[in-house]
Amino acid sequence: MKDRTLLMIPGPIEFEPEVLAALGMPTTSHVAADFIEAFGQALERMRAVFLSTDGQPFVLAGTGTLAMDCAGANLIEPGDRALVVHTGYFSDRFAALLERYGAQVTQVKAPVGGHPALEEIEAALKAADYKLVTITHVDTSTGVLADVPGIARLAQQYGALAVVDGVCSVAGEELRMSEWGIDLALTASQKAVGVPPGLALLVVGPRALQAFSQRKTPVLNYYADWTNWLPVMQAYEARKPSYFGTPAVNLVWALNVSLGQILAEGMEARFARHILLGGACQAGIAALGLGQVPLRPELAAHTLSAPRFPAGVTAADFLPRAAKAGVVMAGGLHPAIRAEYFRIGHMGAAKRGDVLAALGAVETALRQCGYAFPPGAGVAAAQELMP
């Protein structure tokens, strides 16, 4: 497969061969003893990856949006107040989702590429009683990294649940669920967790589970209702069969393999690797004279980069040329600036050579689009950080 292109979008990502091998195994019964063992082990490993000492893991067949839906459906009752810390497209999605379940939503916003200051968030929390605060750890539309520990601390101080959308962060960005006081963190399999699309993953802390148990009204989403899924997750972790809906058997096998790989690397080492890859990619972009969507370097995520196109270069011209050079990248997503930038994913299984290949393809595509820059500048800048 020498002519295969490298996938460097913000998900799905490139997957490890052992994960794909597990995905391709003959499908077992969902109550087979070996599958029950794998599922139970995956649930235990999720706690370790999320750095949660006492959270309840959930693994459901679905996408990251289902994981968000689970959070809203189970924690919100009509009339509850929710505060959305807005950093991009997926903050808007969370707000719309919470409103669907009857929440009164307030958003604290910042200019595109920025994030609200802690003082602004605290002012909103002082102004009303909120049941929960949502934080998009890395908004995939902007590449902006939120101050999760700072916001979670404020949520706890003002009696609100801290809910983290970690779709583009978990297993890549530093996330310490118990230490930071996060009440629910969620993600999807196809991002830094490193499993093909199809699994919604959540870890729900004790305060969130208590809020759920004290609901006065039924959960308005039948499939997402934790009443149905909690006994299933508890049974599998206890190595007992259970059933509500058929799990995505092969994806769960693959998940267990990937979680094992993540823990074998070690969470501290994994955080450091993503910081290195993100910094190198963004240094290479800067060396080519390109701006980035995050307004300041410290706001930039480590799991993806969001470079701005130079004047005269468009996605329609650039992206096909980059793909022809061997690397598939993503176009813009944020509605306000969709045509102004592109996105490079570097998470999960991404290595040094992948970032260098991506920057090489960026250089090739830019040159073919007529943009002038010192040849090799982007790759050289990245190599300085990744000797």
Per-residue pLDDT tens over the stretch 160-207: 999 999 999 999 999 999 999 999 999 999 999 999 999 999 999 999
Of 234, 265, 296, at which residue does a domain stop? 265
**Average pLDDT of the residues of the chain:** 97
Q: Does a structural domain hold residue 1? A: no
First to last CA, the chain: 28
How far is 259 from 43, CA to CA, in rounded Å?
A: 10
Residue 346 belongs to a domain with what CATH number? 3.90.1150.10
The helix-helix angle for 267-287 and 377-385 (nearest 10°) equals 150
- Total structural domains in the chain? 2
State the pTM of this model: 0.97
Asked if residue 365 and residue 323 are part of one domain, the reply reads yes
Buried b or exposed e, range 125-142, using 16+ CB within 10 angstroms: beeeebbbbbbbbbbbbb
In the predicted structure, residue 231 carries a pLDDT above the cut 50: yes
Asked if residue 295 and residue 250 are part of one domain, the reply reads no
In the predicted structure, residue 53 carries a pLDDT above the cut 60: yes
Asked if residue 303 and residue 340 are part of one domain, the reply reads yes
- Residue 1 pLDDT level (bands cut at 50, 70, 90): very low
Asked if residue 94 and residue 25 are part of one domain, the reply reads yes
Full residue range of the structural domain in which residue 290 is found = 6-11+266-385
Asked if residue 49 and residue 169 are part of one domain, the reply reads yes
Interior angle at CA 83, CA 78 and CA 87, nearest 5: 130
In the predicted structure, residue 2 carries a pLDDT above the cut 90: no
